Structure 1
Amino acid sequence: MTHSLRRLAVNERARITSVTAGGEIGRRLRDMGLTPGTIVQVIGRAPLRDPVALRLRDFTLTLRNNEADVIMIEKLEE
């Protein structure tokens, strides 16, 4: 089942299935390495749950929840 990256809990891993944003936001997310097939792991959240810190491709990236909403994922079983 696919859902948005926002719903992933800390320490959960997932595979990106699609980025639904177009235009400048979609291009920027893809430029940051958030492309279909990429494995991501949530490594932390700010106290108010925004932004979220992700680990992917050997680097850490933070995203706002509105950006995470347009990244569709499939959870990976541990």
Structure 2
Amino acid sequence: MTLNQLSPNACGVIEAIHAGQDLRRRLCGLGLRLGIRVRVIRHSPLNGPMQIRVGHTDLILRRSEAANIDVIPT
């Protein structure tokens, strides 16, 4: 399952990141690393970005970027 498929208030643990080196570095800089638990806060309407929480930090990600992140639902 990918991060963009999680419902609001659902949690998951990052299993893999399928992205180029630049995007992978950017996501890593935001705290999105393998084994990290994330929670989806909300999806914007009309296929807009999504808000996720990593630890105590909220992030806004494009759904296309979130589709590159495999998660295991918890």
Q: Aligning the two structures, in what range does the TM-score lie when normalised by the shorter sequence?
A: over 0.9
Q: Which amino acid aligns with 1:54?
A: I
Deviation of 1:10 (Å): 0.3
Runs of 4+ with deviation above 2 angstroms: none
Q: Which amino acid aligns with 2:33?
A: T
Deviations 1:20-46 (A, max 9, x none): 112211110111111011100001111
1:61-72 pair list within 5 angstroms: 61-72=59-70
Q: Which amino acid aligns with 1:40?
A: V
Q: TM-score, normalised by structure 2?
A: 0.93
- Aligned partner (choices 50, 53, 60) of residue 52 of structure 1: 50
Count of aligned pairs: 74
Deviation of 1:18 (Å): 1.2
User: Matched residues in 2 for 1:69 and 1:44: separation?
Assistant: 15
User: Matched residues in 2 for 1:30 and 1:36: separation?
Assistant: 9
RMSD (Å), alpha carbons: 0.9
Identical aligned residues as a percent:
34
Q: TM-score, normalised by structure 1?
A: 0.89
